[in-house]
Amino acid sequence: MQMAAQRILIIGGVAAGPKVAARARRLLPDAEITVIDKGRYISYAGCGMPFYIDDQVGHFRELFSTGYGLPRDAEYFRSERGINFRTRTEALFIDRARKEVLVRDLETGRQSRLGYDQLVLTIGAESVMPRIEGTDFAGVFKFRDPGDAQTVKEYLEKRDVQEVVVVGAGFIGIELAGALANLKLLTTVIEFQEQILPLTLDPDMARLLEQRLAAAHGIEFRTGERVIRLEGDEQGRVCRVVTDRGGYDAELVIMAVGVRPNVGLAREAGLAIGETGAILIDEYCRTSDPDIYACGDCVETTHRLTGQKVYAPFASAANRQGRVVADNLAGRRSVYRGVLGTAVLQAGSFNAGRTGLTEEQARRLGYEVVTSIVPQRDRTHYHPGSGMVILKIIADRASGRLLGVQGIGPGEVVKRIDVAAAVLHFGGMVNDLIEMDLGYAPPFNMPIDPLQHAANALVNKLDGIVETISADELKAKLDADEDFVLLDVRLEKETRHRKIDDPRRILVTLGELRRRVHEIPRDKEIITICDIGVRSYEAYRLLRGAGFAKVKSVEGGMRTWPYGPASMF
């Protein structure tokens, strides 16, 4: 007697769902695999949508196409993968006892039941729409699926829009702001928290990125402001965004305040919901029902460094989880171990990213934190493609264990974030970054990688070779009228572009310092500063060797000074 084919039913067809289906088909050629999704668009590149707005993605269909040009639609999955894909089909209820899902065809309204042996929930997340007056005006959009992106683009093409407001400064908000600024629109970003990318970067790095985006692309950032209402004109179109601190003219408003896991179907079915509010899964991506798996933006996961439950709605995690689910459906006992919080983005001409813990997270967990911030070029200075990056390393002072890395800049940031993620994956130390054998050629890198420069700087601090002061600490000393000398060791031509105007500042280039060291007062604290922190470190060592007792070097130099016009990258 022939055994019945294994029935796998997947609810959700954007990222994780198609990954589960494709991998399961390769492992289980005889299985009956069905995917349902209530939307019109499936298997789309949601992360590419901001770049469609400013034409970096040339055509709408590219968000749905394979690398060889075929549209990833239901017919593609049927013909190339042997997967039954049903769009515009909504899952209404999971009957766990009968192993059936009640579904409704959204085109006809007809209801039916689909049976399963294993069910996979990849039902994603939903955009958060603040409960404020005016979100129903024309010109107000959310930005969750390709239909939203297409609607925004068409609105911009049909109307002479000049002023745009993005509400929310998370990943999507910042990427959208960069895209809108690329279109030469007057772009304002409003964020109710005190910094941009509040879940990604520490305040010092966020402030530097904000400063650079404002200077290079004219984006206005209004942090620490809460939107109260939207106002419209006589035609019912949005015209103004009112916050608790003021008002901003706007002909288009995009709400990008974040997402929350879509758990209604799972909760109604009696599946366990985790402490983050997302679906609880084990290391095999199983829910509290052993025949129901879940992955993607609807689930919570574990942070690899802390062991704590986190919500990480990223396509990279969704795809890795999808592979694990498919393996387990095929009996391969694959394990998903969690995330490091690795996340990267591009906004305008700048890149940003992080992996591991932020400084604030590490301190809350009880680590004795030590950090270094180092600006460096991503490749040799004489190569025409070179660009600056600013990297921040977070480590445990007691053990030297690497805890996290953040980076911003027009240069190649992401490569450094990925290298750091690899070291974190294996529980590495800061010294492991230094000892890694990384590739070098002028078009690709410096002889010492910028990440290794930052690691060297941190080890110098740990070893007591240098004592540094941050830009924020220097600003506090200046504001407090403390008595010290700010020793600027740059060339005079460098100071014409950017300097700290203060009577305590004196200019003595590093090349002159040895013969002029007698001019430096020994009865005051000396704080050395240069462009990126290398010459000020040299000056620090020179002064200490000359017997100066109270010396500090400004970490990252003028490139990390966020008070005033942005320095050139």
- Quote the CA–CA distance of 321 and 295 in Å, as a whole number: 6
Residue 499 resides in a domain: yes
Q: How confident is the model at residue 45 (pLDDT cuts 50, 70, 90)?
A: confident
- Quote the CA–CA distance of 260 and 373 in Å, as a whole number: 33
Q: Is the pTM of this model over 0.85?
A: yes
- Is the same domain home to 382 and 453? yes
Residue 62 resides in a domain: yes
**Which percentage of the chain shows pLDDT scores above 70?**
99
User: What is the per-residue pLDDT across 499-543, written as a single tens digit (0 to 9) for each?
Assistant: 899 999 999 999 999 999 999 999 999 999 999 999 999 999 999
530 classed as catalytic: no
Strand partners, 391: 374, 407
Least confident of 39-48, 110-119, 284-293: 39-48
DSSP code per residue over 248-291 = EE-SEEEE---EEE--HHHHHTT--B-TTSSBP--TTSB-SSTT
- 259, HSE (Cβ side, Cα atoms, 13 Å): 24
Backbone torsions φ then ψ of 558, nearest 5 degrees: -70, -20
Q: Which of 445, 462, 479 is the last residue of a domain?
A: 462
Q: Which of 405, 432, 462 is the last residue of a domain?
A: 462
**Which domain range does residue 300 map to?**
7-125+261-329
- Is the same domain home to 523 and 440? no
Say what the pLDDT of residue 23 is. 97
Look up residue 564 and give its amino acid: G
Q: How confident is the model at residue 67 (pLDDT cuts 50, 70, 90)?
A: confident
Give me the residue label for tokens 């694959």. 334
Catalytic choice (47, 239, 285, 530) = 47
Say what the pLDDT of residue 565 is. 61
- Quote the CA–CA distance of 60 and 320 in Å, as a whole number: 26
Q: Which of 227, 257, 287 is the last residue of a domain?
A: 257
Residue 41 resides in a domain: yes
Give me the residue label for tokens 């997402």. 259
Other beta carbons within 10 Å of 289: 17
- Quote the CA–CA distance of 129 and 148 in Å, as a whole number: 14
pLDDT at 567 over 60: no
Selected residue with higher pLDDT from 564 and 95:
95
DSSP code per residue over 417-430 = HHHHHHHHHTT-BH
CB 174 within 8 A of CB 189: yes
Instruction: Provide the domain count of the chain.
Output: 4
- Is the same domain home to 81 and 11? yes
- Is the same domain home to 23 and 116? yes
DSSP code per residue over 112-126 = EEEE-SEEEE---EE
Say what the pLDDT of residue 59 is. 87
pLDDT at 1 over 60: no
Residue 337 resides in a domain: no
- Is the same domain home to 314 and 276? yes
Taking residues 358-363, report their average pLDDT: 96
Taking residues 392-408, report their average pLDDT: 97
Residue 241 resides in a domain: yes
Look up residue 226 and give its amino acid: R
- Is the same domain home to 267 and 217? no
Residue 495 resides in a domain: yes
- Helix ranges (H only) for 45-191 are 49-53, 74-81, 146-158, 171-182
End-to-end CA distance of the chain: 72
- Is the same domain home to 354 and 303? no
pLDDT at 218 over 60: yes
pLDDT at 475 over 90: yes
Other beta carbons within 10 Å of 237: 16
pLDDT at 60 over 90: no
- Contacts of residue 314, defined as CB under 8 A and 6 or more positions apart, other chains included, come to 339, 343
Length of the chain: 569
pLDDT at 95 over 70: yes
